[in-house]
Amino acid sequence: MPITTCIFDAYGTLFDVSAAARAASTEPGRETFARHWPAIAEKWRLKQLQYTWLRAVMGAHIGFWQVTQDGLDWALESEGLQDDTELRARLLQLYWELAAFPEVPAMLAALKKAGKQTAILSNGAPDMLDGAVRSAGIGDLLDDVLSVESVGIYKPARVVYDLVGQRFGCAPEEVLFVSSNGWDACAAAGYGFQTAWVNRAADPVDRLPATPDRQLSDLTGIPALAGA
């Protein structure tokens, strides 16, 4: 069945989650942080994801902004920087202004030109996603931005993927689901979506019940996969 709808994860897929720490590391007076930023960026993202999974299993949902803050606090403490409150505030501010990966605007434009429906499906809270979309200037290339907050549980819960069909009236096999998170792409494949894993780090495939249909190193090949 032809692809009618292209759905994207947000953080790490369209938006560079390391951008906040990378940008802060170049600012004057942050020489200490500059030595720690790669480790903090990696730990921040890992804890952010772990907390979404754990909260989903525990039935203790809380908004993604709080999860983001909790993950950062853990990462800063792990590197001995928990007392730098100004740094914490700056990193959180920059998270609202994450840069999109360079290929994103042209990729989305090609999909829209071909008549494909496009949307984000993200763990992010609506206000966070709105800030990222506006900062990246891609709002006119998206038909919608869907957040897990409407169902109160994080991916990979199946009710999150249900949001796509509810919004666009499409069958799962009409959807190309794109994520940089291997676990997300696997879960979406198990749900019935056609899937593309943007494996920027060349990681192994996760050992889960389903596997992504395609692997790409970036987003430039998405229009071709979608038949655009």
Catalytic residues: 9
CA triple 93-95-97, angle to 5 deg: 85
Longest dimension (CA), the chain: 55
Q: Please name the helix (run of DSSP H) or strand (run of DSSP E) that holds residue 25, with its range, or none.
A: helix 19-25
Q: Whole-angstrom Cα distance, residue 23 to residue 87?
A: 12
Q: Whole-angstrom Cα distance, residue 117 to residue 179?
A: 16
Q: Whole-angstrom Cα distance, residue 209 to residue 194?
A: 15
Burial 144-169 (b: 16+ CB within 10 A, else e): ebbbbbebebbbbbeebbebbbebbe
